[in-house]
Structure 1
Amino acid sequence: MELWIPITLFAAFCQNLRSAVQKHLKGQLGSTGATFVRFGYGFPFASLYVAVLHAGFGFAFPEINSVFLIAGALGGLAQIFGTFLLVYLFSFRNFTVGTAYSKTEPIQAALFGFLLLGEQISWATGFCILIGIAGVIVISLARTSLSASVVRQSLMSRPALIGLGSAAMFGASAAAYRVASLSLEGTGVPMQAGFALAYATLFQTIVMIAWMIFREPEQLTASLAAWRVAIWAGATGVAGSIGWFTAMTLQNVAYVRALAQIELVFTFLASWLVFKETIARSEIAGCALIVLAVLGIILWS
C-alpha cells in the first residue's frame, strides 16, 4: 500500500474529531469564531510540528521562494472563502441541493490539479471518483423529501451555485497547497508539507484576526475566551492538516480528496456505534458507494 493512503485515512479521521469540536463551538461562538479557531489555535501546533521535524529529526528548513508564498496565500484565502460559502449555504431554507453540489470537490480538485500542475487521472480512477461523489450526494439527500420537480428547479438556484462555489474554492485550495509544498524541494516530504501548513495557517490566522477586529470584534473576544475547548479544535485540525498536506505532497490532489470521502463513513459509524442513532437505508447505500469508490481508488491509483 502506498504511503499516501494510510496518511489520508488518518487525516479523514482527525477531521471527524475537529468537526465535532467545531460543531460544539459553533453554538458558543457563531460561524466566524468557530472557523477562526481552526486556524488561530492550530498555528502553534503547526509551528511545533515544524520545530520537531527540524530539531528532532534533522530536516533542514526550506528556502522560501515566490511560488511558495503566492501559492500558499492563495490556498489559504480559497480555503477561508470555501468555508464561509459552506456556512452561508446553511442560511437558505432550500440548502440541501447546494450541499450536495458542495461535495463535488474531488472533481474540481482534479480540474485545478490539471490547470496548475498538469496532473491527469486514469479513466478507472475518474469513474471511482464519480461513484464516491454519488455516494456522498445520496447521503446528503437521504433525510429530505425532495421531489424530482423540486430538485430540477433547484439545480441552478442560488444555493446550488453557492455549493458549487464552495467546492471550487476547496478544490483550488488543495491544488494551491500542493503547488506550495512541491516548490520547497530538497528538504524532504515531511518538512515540505509541515512548512507549507505552518505558513498557510499563519496567513489564515492573520487574515481572520484582521477581519474580526474590523467587522466582528465580539467573535475574536469570544474565541479567546473559549480557549479551553478551542485548543482541541486547533490540535485535531492540525493533526488532520498534517495528513492532508503530506498526502497531497505525495499524490495527485484529486486522488487524495476523493479518498477523503471516507470521512462520511467514519461519521456514520460513530453515529451508529457510539451515539446509537438510526441510519436510513439510503445512507447505508451511500456509505457502500463511498467504500466501493475508496477500494477502487486504492487499487487503481
Structure 2
Amino acid sequence: MIVSWILFTFLAAFSQAWRNAFQSQLSKTLNVTGVTLARFLWASPLSLIYLVSLYQWQPTDLPTFTGHSWFFLIGASIMQIVATALMVVLFKQKNFAIGAGLAKSEAPVSAFLGVLFFGTSLTFLGWIGVLVGGVAVLILSCPQGFRSISLNTAALGLACSSAFALTSLWIREASLSLSLPFPHRAAWVLFIVILLQTIMLVGYLLLRDRDTLKQMLAKPKLVIMTSIASFVGSFGWFSAMSLQAVPYVKTLGQVEIFFTMLVSFFYLKESIPRKDILALLLVAVAAGLVMWQ
C-alpha cells in the first residue's frame, strides 16, 4: 500500500499538470464556468466505465451511504468547483506556472486543517516535509521577490489552495465512510463527486449561459483532452487519499511543479526562471521526507 499511494500521487501530479495547461488554453476563449465544466464534462462517463469495470474485475457489495457520506460527497463536489474556478481566475492574474504554483500551497493548508478539524496525525519528519514543500511553493510563486506578487493574487492563491485542501480532506472522509475495500470505495467517491459536479455546472449553464455550452462544442478536442487529463488526475488523487493522509499526498503531489514547468516551457512556450531550480530541489527534499517518514 505504501508504494501504491506514491504511484497514484505521481500519476495524479503528472495528469494535473496537463489538465491545468489545457484549462489555461481554454481560459483564453471561455469564461470561468465553461473552463471549470471542461474539467468534469467527459470525466463523468469515464469514471462510470472505470467503476463498472472494477466491479466486473473484483465483484463486491454495493456501498451504503450515510448522512455523513453525502455531506462529504456534496461538500467536496461544490468546493472543488469553487477551487477550480479560482484556479482559472489565477491563470488570468499571472502566467500559467505562477498560477499553478500559488494553488499548490494546499499541502500546508491541508495539514493545519486536517490536524485541527479532521484528526489527522503527522510525524515530525512529515511536518518538516510539509513545511519544506510550502517554502518551495513560496519561492515559485514569487520569482521577483515577495513584492512582485500583488495582494489580490496572493489572496486568490490562498483561497484557491484552501478550497482544494478542504476538497481533499472531505474526499478522504467520504472514502473512509464507505465500508468497502480499496479501490472500490475510491471509485464510488470519484464517480459520485464528478457526476454531481457535471450536473450542477451543466444545469447552471442551461439555465443562465447556453452560449458557453455552444462555445465548448466548438472546441471539442481541447475540452475532451481537459476532461481526460482531469479524470486520470482525479483517479490518482482519490485513490492516493483513500490510502494515505491528505497532507502527505499533497506534499508529494508538489512534484506537479516539476511537470508544470516542463509543460509550461514546451507546450505553452513560457520561460522558466533559474531561481525555480531551488524550488525544485526543495520539492524533491519534501517528497523524500513524506515518502519515508
- Fold match, TM over 0.5? yes
2:209 — aligned with what?
A: 216
The alpha carbon displacement at 1:249 in A equals 0.6
1:265 alignment counterpart: 258
Task: Tell me the distance in 1 between the aligned counterparts of 2:160 and 2:265.
Answer: 29
Q: Secondary structure at the match of 2:3?
A: coil
Residue 138 of structure 1 pairs with residue 176 of structure 2: no
Q: After the TM superposition, which residues 209-288 of structure 1 pair with which residues of structure 2 at under 5 Å, given as runs?
A: 209-270=202-263, 279-288=272-281
Deviations 1:122-170 (CA, angstroms, capped at 9, x unpaired): 222111111112112212222x4x5x6x46x95xx34333322211111
2:291 alignment partner AA: I
CA distance in 2, matches of 1:99, 1:20: 9
**Deviations for 1:10-33, whole angstroms, at most 9, x for unmatched residues?**
111111222233233333433321
**What residue is the counterpart of 1:111 in the other structure?**
112
CA distance in structure 2 between the partners assigned to 1:230 and 1:20 by the alignment: 12
Report matched runs for 1:39-78 at 5 Å. 39-78=40-79
| 1:93, distance to aligned residue in structure 2 (A) | 7.8
Picking from 261, 285, 293, the partner of 1:292 is 285
Per the alignment, residue 191 of structure 1 pairs with 184
Q: Percent identity?
A: 31
Deviation at 1:75, TM superposition (A): 0.7
Secondary structure, counterpart of 1:58 in structure 2 = coil
TM-score normalised per structure 2: 0.89
User: Partner letter of residue 105 of structure 1?
Assistant: E
Partners in 2 of 1:265 and 1:89 — Cα distance? 19
Distance (Å, rounded) in 1 between the aligned partners of 2:268 and 2:212:
31
How many aligned residue pairs are there? 292
Per the TM alignment, residue 79 of structure 1 is displaced from its structure 2 partner at its CA by 1.0
CA RMSD of aligned residues (A): 2.8
Cα drift, residue 83 of structure 1: 1.8
8 A Cα contact 1:72 1:177, kept in partner: yes
1:216-245 deviation per Cα after TM superposition (whole angstroms, max 9, x unaligned): 221122223333332222122111111100
**Which range moved further: 269-278 or 212-221?**
269-278
Higher mean C-alpha deviation, range 111-120 or range 169-178: 111-120
After superposition, give the CA deviation of every residue in 1:31-65 in whole Å (9 maximum; x if it has no partner).
32121011111101011110101123324331222
Pairing of 1:8-23 with structure 2 (within 5 A): 8-23=9-24
Q: Is the 8 A contact 1:223 1:230 kept in 2?
A: yes
- Tell me what 2:7 maps to: 6
**Would the alpha carbon gap of residues 45 and 278 (structure 1) be closer, same or farther in structure 2, given more than 3 Å must change?**
same
Partner of 1:179: 173
Deviation at 1:70, TM superposition (A): 1.2
In 1: Cα distance, 2:74 partner to 2:104 partner: 24
CA contact (8 A) 2:16 2:233 kept: yes
Structure 2 unmatched ranges of 5 or more: none
Unaligned runs of 5+ in 1: none
- CA change 1:171–1:213 in 2 (3 A) is same
Whole-Å Cα distance in 2 between the matches of residues 121 and 173 of structure 1? 19
Shift of 1:214: 3.2
Which digits, 9 at most, give the CA deviation of each residue in 1:98-134, with x for residues without a partner? Answer: 9765432112212332344301212221111111121
Superposed displacement of residue 275, structure 1:
8.1
Structure 1 residues 133, 249: closer, same or farther in 2, change over 3 A?
same
The answer for the alignment partner of 1:159 in structure 2 is 153
Amino acid at match of 2:204: W
After superposition, the Cα gap between the structure-2 partners of 1:57 and 1:32, relative to the gap in structure 1 and judged at 3 Å, is: same
Normalised TM-score (structure 1): 0.87
Q: 1:276 to 1:234 in 2, by over 3 A?
A: closer
Partner Cα separation in structure 2 for residue 126 and residue 190 of structure 1: 27
